[in-house]
């Protein structure tokens, strides 16, 4: 089972392939993705890396969190699972019926 990491503070020039190469220094990388803006195709400055094991994920956090990459400081942490996708639906349900404000 892969262990997903959130990578913040990425230089905007970083590609998914470059992200994979950098994190491979800490162990086996299952996948690496830089999140891009849908409209412009430009990097949003963060991404996700899936490491092959929990030990490699921990090693990557220790190795890269707070380190500088092309002038920007990386924030590396375990990605939160389940997150906003499950809890966001209730806010929109009902289509605004009954709203007083």
Q: What is the CATH number of the domain that holds 23?
A: 3.30.70.330
Asked if residue 34 belongs to a domain, the reply is yes
Of 26 and 92, which is predicted with more confidence? Answer: 26
User: Is the model more confident about 9 or about 96?
Assistant: 9
Q: Which range marks the domain in which residue 46 is found?
A: 3-78
74: pLDDT strictly greater than 90: yes
Residue 84 clears pLDDT 80, i.e. is over it? no
Cα separation of 98 and 29, whole Å?
49
Instruction: Give a yes or no: residue 93 inside a domain.
Output: no
Query: pLDDT tier at 78 (50, 70, 90 boundaries)?
Result: very high
Residue 68 included in any domain: yes
| Within-domain flag for 74 | yes
Structure token digits, residue 34: 């830089």
Q: How many domains does the chain have?
A: 1
- What integer pLDDT is reported at residue 1 of this predicted model? 62
Between residues 25 and 95, which one has the greater pLDDT? 25
Residue 89 has a pLDDT of: 43
Residue 19 within any structural domain of the chain = yes
From 73, 21, 76, select the one nearest 48 (Cα to Cα).
76
């Amino acid at each position: 089972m892969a262990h997903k990491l959130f990578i913040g503070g990425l230089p905007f020039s970083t590609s998914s392939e470059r992200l994979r190469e950098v994190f491979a220094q800490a162990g086996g990388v299952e996948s690496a993705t830089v999140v891009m803006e849908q409209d412009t195709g430009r990097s949003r400055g963060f991404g996700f890396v899936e490491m092959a094991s929990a030990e490699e994920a921990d090693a990557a956090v220790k190795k890269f969190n707070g380190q500088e990459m092309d002038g920007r400081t990386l924030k590396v942490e375990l990605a939160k699972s389940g997150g906003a996708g499950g809890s966001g639906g209730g806010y929109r349900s009902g289509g605004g019926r009954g709203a007083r404000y």
